[in-house]
Structure 1
Amino acid sequence: MGIRSSDSAVADRNGADRKLMLVALGVVFGDIGTSPLYALRECFNPDHGIAVNEANILGLLSLILWSLVLVISIKYVGIVLRADNRGEGGVLALSTLVSTATPNWKLWGPVSAVGLFGAALFFGDGFVTPAISVLSAMEGLEVASPQLERFVLPGAVAVLTGLFLMQRHGTGAMGRLFGPVTLTWFLTLAALGLLHIGESPGVLLAINPMYAVHFFINNGGMGFVTLASVFLAVTGGEALYADMGHFGRAPIRKGWFMVVWPALVLNYFGQGALLMNNPLAVANPFYLLAPGWLLPLLIVLATCATIIASQAVISGVFSVTRQALNLGYLPRLRVKHSSEQEIGQVYVPTVNWLLFAGTLTLIISFRSSSALAGAYGIAISSTMLIDTILVMMLLRVRQEPHNRKMVALLTLILIAELAFFCSNLLKFDDGGWLPVLVAIGIYVLMSTWQEGRRTLAWLIAREQMPVRDFLSMIEKDPPLRVEGTAVYLAAEAGGMPRALLNNLKFNRVLHQRNVLLTFVRPEVPFVQSEERIEVQNLGEGLWRVTARYGFMETPNVVTALRGAEEKGLAYEPESTVYVVGRENPTFTTGSGMPLWRKRLFAFMGRNSQLAAIHFGVPSHRLLEVSSQVKL
């Protein structure tokens, strides 16, 4: 009986893993899974001057294969997935993990800045990926019939408009279709590739990495330029790490090695085999893999796959926005939870419409996926470099015996990624400047908000009255007490909040019970429920409540007070008033941040979501108290 129960448990666990792997196919691998639409075609872009002959075809296929092996299979799947921050991945989670792991406090600032810029680059990617993916799918209409070329651009605009309009409804219903559709897509990739490999099995010689070496020898400088196009085959690899928190390591690894990697390799090799037999097919080797009767269905399937890839990137941008908000890198924005079951499913309206405007501008400006390819690589290659550097730092800090081998292997991969990055830099004038400019702009916004908040918090803390002095003051000169409870949102769990002191100073009254509620953000994604709430009785009807929320969680005043109630603090919602302070900065010159950054910080503050709304304060019991601070 015991053996049967054990077998049943194993079967249930394996079944759950398979379902999770199926869902992960759509969310995690959507971006890299659509690369065959344009990667090999761009390698033979006429601007590169690479002849469509057998030697070059084998060389490029070898480069693509070994790039997938080194960058995705070994680096991300084999090494980087181990560097999780309590199960969460992504460049922000990684930078906070490195900062907390290193004993050298001088490195905290640079590591934080690198992670912040990596997140900013991811935002830049969020503009380009939907544009290039959907455009490349719609360009199949040209292959089906030259007369349909005029519908490519309007079709891409219509698809993306519908996609961004659907974001406010959440991805739950659509998400259930992601896995099966993406599995169908990968099986189709594999089948189309096998069909042509069988006709030209000599293409399998590209497994030998020496063909990649000969490619550079034969093509010299233009071979290096073509590396930027080869890199298109691994774009989307960073999503494996960023989405780890939703699925865990095992489903991602199984999905990659069992489905995605074999399908991609077979399709690329199939395209190579097609080009060996018909060099003219270089105009669009992916769609020309399919027989004529299958082409309309393939265009529909490719469009669905690119929508899924775009959705995965958009959802990733929402997730990174939420992390940045909770870590204090962005002003408060409205965040809507689109699922009651899945904590990671969020919708950020402001970011959604900014992405929509940016993506639409790219499509109308560049008009083709080939033109957009130049704008695609710099941001992603930079993000991958940052991931590699941060993981190497983490491995060196931890100083475990087997880490030396991984650092040595990552050093080799870092050299390859530097080559990709330098090759992409050559496309800076062809559109590569765009995501970099977006990333710089977002980095300036985030770093300005972070520095402004830090300065503001220091100025307020410097003027705060210690709790001991406050208790002594009201003991010597007791104020008038009124019935009920007042909850004051305090930014720091230290002295007395300015809102309480101003209320006492001007109104000369104090509630019978006063609660100082502070939300603390430990640099972890989630906080255990038993560690979330801390209650301290300070005396004289004064209580301090500290509520801890990770950067993947959403703080809430009522929920925190309910938790405090379980630890002895009486909470009566209908006799409680919530007091929120608002600090209005005034500008001074000659100290601190430059004046333009102070003005930018103030502008962001004025346009941020009200603290009361952000923290879920009941509006019918809210009192706001304003004060000025010289910044």
Structure 2
Amino acid sequence: MALANNTGEVEPVDPQQPAEGDKQGMPILMVGALGVVYGDIGTSPIYAFREALHASGEAVSRSDVLGVLSLIVWALTLIVTVKYVAFVLRADNKGEGGTLSLMALARMAYPKGATVILGIGLCGAALFFGDAIITPAVSVLSAVEGLEVVTPAFDPYVVPITLLILAGLFSVQRFGSGKVAVVFGPVMLVWFVSLGMVGLSHLVDDPSVLLAINPYYAVYYLATTPTGAFITVGAVFLAVTGAEALYVDLGHFGRKPIVLTWFWVVFPCLLLCYFGQGAFVLSHGGKPENPFFQMMPEWALVPMVILATAATVIASQSVISGAFSLTRQAVQLNLLPRIEVQHTSESQLGQIYMPRVNLIVALGVMLLVVGFGSSSALASAYGISVTGEMLMTTILLFVVMRARWTWPIGVALGLALLFGVIDSGFFLANVVKVMEGGWVSISVACIMGLIMVTWIRGSRLLFDKTRKNEVPLDFLAGNLAKKQPNLVPGTAIFLTSDPLSAPTALMHSLKHYKVLHEQNVILSVVTAQQPKVPDSERVKMETINDLFMRVTLTFGYMEHPNIPRALAICRKKGWKFDIMTTSFFLSRRSLKASPNSGMPMWQDRLFIGLARSAADATEYFQIPTGRVVEIGTQVAI
């Protein structure tokens, strides 16, 4: 599979999807966005304010509370409202968002820096996987810890209950999120309304907390307590984790519903909750333990723990679904080997399930819960991956602003520096927590980065090595046309990543069987750097001679390749064939490590292991199994 710089045309609007201006569809999209987009950031009040105050000491002063609140308010304003809502959401790639979408957009806009941009995109994608493992663990664990506020007797059961909830969450992934998504939005709507009402009810405890809207208190806090403030900033960042979901899930809802939901529901409810927690702490002597649950009325405590647990499960679902989508994008862009994809909906292409990814994430999450044991301990591991990913987004956004939007260098650089300084500050504040748990994020990101780099490098070396031994297709086709071997009826389709060279399967077929089909098609599957490709651009056909034809099928990186369905388009272009008399020939390579491959021996073995773990090409390309012939070859890389 190869990359293609195919910009394509703007796709027509799906008539089944409500347009951004559709007033009837907008409320439905907004409620849906609450359940999918804002699940992560919506559960941050459970632990963000608590951890920020704990960083200031056991007993906090009035200036500490106002300083922390001011930092949270302005973090939400600058990072979410200004950076993501006002700018990043505009950088959509044919309606799709996310790190790899932004990377593809930047590569198209600035091809000279394609290699560097690829590296930045890889870093962002690798860091997201770290976030995907930590988010479910810290979110669900923090909600279940609310049982300790009900009665300390629940303390020994917090971890086991968390593990049971997580096991249930990962076990139902195979059924697809669509069957439970209908309740996600309404539950999160109740959650956000509850946050706002509880926070508003406690504002009367000390209305002066509203002074924290003034950024003076944030600046004063940072200036007067530089050492403690640096640690506090790392905890404050917990309030904006999940902001990246606004961009990742852009393709599901569109920009307008996400923006309206933020301003009408999420932002005001979050602010009310944080201000309410601040007023509660000030009115109770400035000794916070778990202010979010402590400020609940006694009658509402158990229902709120249940609602918080449901909200954190929804937040975890969003990240897990994001991991599936990002993995599929990485596979389509040839950054990872083929991985089994199961579609869980007949109508929604984006609803997918990846058994292997689900298992790996589940094991990672449960190991974190058992290893750290509390959300406070896990909070130290949370932050590095998200801040790093946001920093990569800022860099890629600058490339898009300058190269694609052609903004003046002063405007683009000024915004990039503003966002970059904020992101870098949060990143450095979280880096100091490496030994306390931050090593988890770095380890996961490094492992994923190593896997992707190894796959990219190994694939290129393998391609170059096999290409040296291959015969130019035009040369072979010309010779076979002059001196034809025995012809058998039917059509043979040879899959290859190099349409200019004769496929290995074709050469071995001629060598061993001494026959050739009446029609021979050299088929290549190409991934465009755009989410979807319209049918009008799906197929490219080229006749070489009476015996051979070259066909290129182009798919977007958000699409799952279906070769038979794509070949049906060829009928409309004049190529007549019968699928029942068509055979698909695939080359199956048996790889052997070689000291002269250009990679260290350990990386050779890692690449070979990844290649062996790749999903079967027949299933991946959805080719009828009864029409496939595989021919094996041995290659030393």
TM-score exceeds 0.5: yes
1:33 equivalent in alignment to 2:39: no
1:305 equivalent in alignment to 2:305: no
Aligned counterparts of 2:627 and 2:407: Cα–Cα separation in 1? 58
Question: Residue type matched to 1:394 in 2?
Answer: V
Aligned counterparts of 1:343 and 1:411: Cα–Cα separation in 2? 38
CA deviation after TM superposition for structure 1 residue 510, in Å: 0.6
Equivalent in the alignment of 2:28 = 19
Q: Which runs of 5+ in 1 are unaligned?
A: 1-8
Pairing of 1:79-478 with structure 2 (within 5 A) = 79-104=87-112, 107-279=113-285, 282-398=288-404, 400-401=406-407, 404-478=410-484
Aligned counterparts of 1:568 and 1:554: Cα–Cα separation in 2? 25
Aligned counterparts of 1:152 and 1:20: Cα–Cα separation in 2? 35
Q: Which has the higher helix share?
A: 1
CA offsets, 1:601-621, max 9 Å, x none? 111111211212211121112
Contact 1:50 1:219 in 2 (8 A): no
Equivalent in the alignment of 1:527 = 533
Contact 1:50 1:56 in 2 (8 A): no
CA offsets, 1:478-502, max 9 Å, x none? 1111111111112122222111111
Look up the SS of the partner of 1:549 in the other structure.
strand
CA deviation after TM superposition for structure 1 residue 476, in Å: 3.3
Equivalent in the alignment of 2:499 = 493
Aligned counterparts of 2:196 and 2:413: Cα–Cα separation in 1? 34
Q: Which runs of 5+ in 2 are unaligned?
A: 1-17
1:64 to 60, 72, 77: 72
1:482 equivalent in alignment to 2:488: yes
Equivalent in the alignment of 1:6 = none
CA deviation after TM superposition for structure 1 residue 587, in Å: 2.9
Distance 1:513 1:590, change over 3 A: closer
CA deviation after TM superposition for structure 1 residue 182, in Å: 0.5
Contact 2:106 2:399 in 1 (8 A): yes
Contact 2:20 2:256 in 1 (8 A): no
Aligned counterparts of 1:67 and 1:112: Cα–Cα separation in 2? 29
CA deviation after TM superposition for structure 1 residue 151, in Å: 2.1
Aligned counterparts of 1:589 and 1:353: Cα–Cα separation in 2? 34
Aligned counterparts of 1:80 and 1:515: Cα–Cα separation in 2? 43
1:76 equivalent in alignment to 2:84: yes
CA offsets, 1:267-316, max 9 Å, x none? 00000000010136611111122100011110111011000000000000
Aligned counterparts of 2:124 and 2:615: Cα–Cα separation in 1? 25
Look up the SS of the partner of 2:95 in the other structure.
coil
CA offsets, 1:409-457, max 9 Å, x none? 3312211221111110110000100111011011111111111111212
Please, which moves more after superposition, 188-197 or 487-496?
487-496
Contact 2:20 2:26 in 1 (8 A): no
Aligned counterparts of 1:23 and 1:441: Cα–Cα separation in 2? 34
1:572 equivalent in alignment to 2:583: no
Aligned counterparts of 2:66 and 2:365: Cα–Cα separation in 1? 35
Question: Residue type matched to 1:41 in 2?
Answer: R
Look up the SS of the partner of 2:291 in the other structure.
coil
CA deviation after TM superposition for structure 1 residue 173, in Å: 1.3
CA deviation after TM superposition for structure 1 residue 52, in Å: 1.6
Contact 2:195 2:272 in 1 (8 A): yes
Look up the SS of the partner of 1:606 in the other structure.
helix
Question: Residue type matched to 2:43 in 1?
Answer: T
Contact 1:75 1:410 in 2 (8 A): no
CA offsets, 1:500-529, max 9 Å, x none? 111011110011111222111111111011
Distance 1:224 1:156, change over 3 A: same
Distance 1:489 1:256, change over 3 A: same
Equivalent in the alignment of 2:14 = none
CA deviation after TM superposition for structure 1 residue 174, in Å: 0.7
Contact 2:59 2:286 in 1 (8 A): no
What's the TM-score once normalised by structure 2's chain length?
0.95
Aligned counterparts of 2:343 and 2:263: Cα–Cα separation in 1? 33
Distance 1:406 1:11, change over 3 A: closer
CA deviation after TM superposition for structure 1 residue 575, in Å: 1.2
Look up the SS of the partner of 1:375 in the other structure.
coil
Number of residue-to-residue matches in the alignment: 620
Aligned counterparts of 2:298 and 2:405: Cα–Cα separation in 1? 58
Equivalent in the alignment of 1:585 = 591
CA deviation after TM superposition for structure 1 residue 401, in Å: 4.3
Please, which moves more after superposition, 464-473 or 151-160?
464-473
Contact 2:474 2:500 in 1 (8 A): no
Distance 1:335 1:399, change over 3 A: closer
Aligned counterparts of 1:99 and 1:12: Cα–Cα separation in 2? 31
Please, which moves more after superposition, 401-410 or 84-93?
401-410
Aligned counterparts of 1:329 and 1:228: Cα–Cα separation in 2? 31
RMSD between aligned residues: 1.6
